[in-house]
Amino acid sequence: MEISHSVALNKDLCKGCTNCITYCPTEAIRVSKGKARIITDRCIDCGECIRRCPHHAKIALPDSMRDLEKFQFKVAIPAPTLYGQFDKRFSIDRILTGLKHLGFDEVFEVAKAAEYVSDRIIQELAKPDKPKPLISSSCPACVRLVQVKYPELLDNIIRVESPMEIAAQIVREKYKDIKDLGIFFISPCPAKITSVKAPLGHDSSTVDRVLSIKDIYLPLLEAMSSNTEIEHLASASGRGVSWAVRDGETEAVKPISYVAVDGINNVSKVLEKIADGRLDEIDYVEVMACPGGCVGGALTVENPYICKSIVTAKILDLPESVIEPDNLEKIRLDWDTKIEPRQIMKLSDDFGEAIEKIQKMQMIQQQLPGLDCSACGAPTCKALAEDIVRGKAEITYCVFVLRERIRKLTNSMMELQEKMPPPIDNN
């Protein structure tokens, strides 16, 4: 399976430290020859490594602002997280007007689509034949985490389109007579960039380009300061904008019982519980890979907690619900393709062979010190053992094993030295 990604490595900046490998939720990074390497089959584009790398060597691959020139009519669809990047002096209207000054002909708020998605989820939750709990599909990094680590939970994922895709479809429909229309999503994360390049639940994305909040931040700030007249453009509700923050989605959906969780490792733990059947009584689980929700996205600028406070304050001025809803007749609200498991953990297609490999792994693990020091370039001793049985590493990558072997070798050499034949030994 060829998977398109939007997280990559800047080799020149990488120092070969082990920060990224220990935090990667799918153990998708190894360090070899002094540089990190992403195992693409395992990567879920959550951006955790971008956040963790102290040398800024992990980078995202968004499109460039220059791509604006490639389209005649450009529409920006900003994620609501953008509103929390600038403090209260910058109203949502001012931010949206700023986007137009940057060169966009129109703007359409993803937050507006988030409200339609909320309504659609409410309908899903009301259906009697659904597995419990239903898991939100709005964070693509979490959906991919289920694909690679919890394939048994794929049926629990709500098959509703993301606010980004629905916003893009509404724009496409609204301007269907315009040739050369370019729809630009303004993204808080690499996960959503990947969702455009390699979509989940449908064959191709309606979004044409993705810009990161990070890249657009300074140009937008500049565009906003030269604003003379602020247009009235904001039309999303508080219910939609709140999707930027953890709990926002749940509050918009109002399930009877729910768990809302943020941070990719916490998400893993909750998914684990669902897989054990311990959350069968819960209706809805909101999962967001980033700390605090999308406000903590790896491609944002403002601190997640401050961003949250700004978004929450801005919501107070908004209507609770959208006043003028769009026509959704021609909009695809649900996924139409299946989400397949990505079985990265599988050791072999042949069951007997897989069992043998596990036995071998257990034997190798007994020879390793169990310190999980990562000096070998793998996140844990167990991961190194797995790499060895997969033929991707040697046991001597472990510095402790290597030291032991060298000591043994040295001892044998010393022993031999003692036993040199007299004619050679001139001491």
Question: Can you give the binding site for ligand SF4, defined by CB under 6 A?
Answer: 46, 139, 141, 188-189, 191-192, 288-290, 293-294, 297
Please choose, out of 282-290, 354-362, 402-410, 411-419, the segment that lies near other proteins by the rule CB under 8 A.
354-362
Q: Is 247 in the site for other proteins (CB under 8 A)?
A: no
- Minimum CB separation of residue 248 from other proteins in Å reads 26
- In 324-374, which ranges are E strands? none
Question: Residue type at 194?
Answer: T
- The smaller minimum CB distance to ligand SF4, of residues 157 and 181, is found at 157
DSSP 8-state class, residue 247: T
In this structure, the chain runs to a length of 427
- Which listed residue (3, 347, 373, 402) binds other proteins by CB under 8 A? 347
Site for other proteins in 256-275 (CB under 8 A): 272, 275
Q: At what angle do helices 351-367 and 381-389 cross, to 10 degrees?
A: 130
| Strand-pair category, 134-135 with 58-60 | unpaired
Q: Which does 358 bind (CB under 5 to 8 A by kind): ligand SF4, other proteins, none?
A: other proteins
Q: Which of 335, 74, 11, 63 is nearest to 192 (CA)?
A: 63
Binding test (CB under 8 A) with other proteins, winner from 358, 375, 395, 402: 358
Closest CA to 8 of 43, 41, 34, 33: 43
Query: Per CB under 8 A, does 219 bind other proteins?
Result: no
For ligand SF4, which is the closer residue by CB, 140 or 182? Answer: 140
Choose the one of ligand SF4, other proteins, none that binds residue 289, judging by a C-beta under 5 to 8 angstroms depending on kind.
Answer: ligand SF4
- What is the phi-psi region of residue 103: left when phi exceeds 0, alpha when psi lies from -120 to 50, beta otherwise? left
Q: Which is nearer to ligand SF4, 102 or 288 (CB)?
A: 288
Q: Does 349 bind other proteins (CB under 8 A)?
A: yes
Beta strands in 196-340 (DSSP E): 209-212, 258-262, 284-288
- Write down the least CB distance from residue 155 to other proteins, Å: 8
CB of 353 to other proteins, least distance (A): 9
Q: Judged by CB under 8 A, does residue 12 bind other proteins?
A: no
Q: How many CB atoms lie within 10 A of CB 40?
A: 14
**Nearest C-alpha neighbor of 213 from the set 43, 9, 77:** 77
DSSP H or E run through 77 = strand 73-78
Residues 379-408 that bind other proteins (CB under 8 A): 386
Given the complex with ligand SF4, which of 290 and 383 has the nearer CB atom? 290
Question: Least distance to ligand SF4 from the beta carbon of 295, Å?
Answer: 8
152 touches other proteins by CB under 8 A: yes
Stretch that binds other proteins, among 100-108, 144-152, 254-262, 315-323 (CB under 8 A): 144-152
H or E element, residue 30: strand 29-32
Among 89, 346, 416, 423, binds other proteins (CB under 8 A): 346
Type of residue at 246: R
| 39 forms part of the interface with other proteins (CB under 8 A) | no
Contact 151, 308 (CB under 8 A): no
* Residue number with CB closer to ligand SF4 (140 or 377): 140
- Minimum CB distance to ligand SF4, residue 137 (Å): 10
Question: Is residue 330 within the footprint of other proteins (CB under 8 A)?
Answer: no
Selected binder of other proteins within 54, 128, 277, 391 (CB under 8 A): 277
Q: 229-255: b or e for each residue (b if 16 or more CB lie within 10 Å)?
A: eeeebbbbbbbbbbbbbbbbbbbbbeb
Q: Does 352 bind other proteins (CB under 8 A)?
A: yes
Q: Rule CB under 8 A: say whether 154 interacts with other proteins.
A: yes
Phi, psi of 284 (to 5 degrees): -140, 135
Which phi and psi (to 5°) does residue 137 adopt? Answer: -110, 10
Which residues lie below 8 Å from residue 339, measured CB to CB, with a gap of 6+? Answer: 143, 146, 147, 154, 157, 200, 201
Interface residue list for other proteins (CB under 8 A): 149, 151-152, 154, 272, 275-278, 341, 343, 345-349, 351-352, 354-359, 386
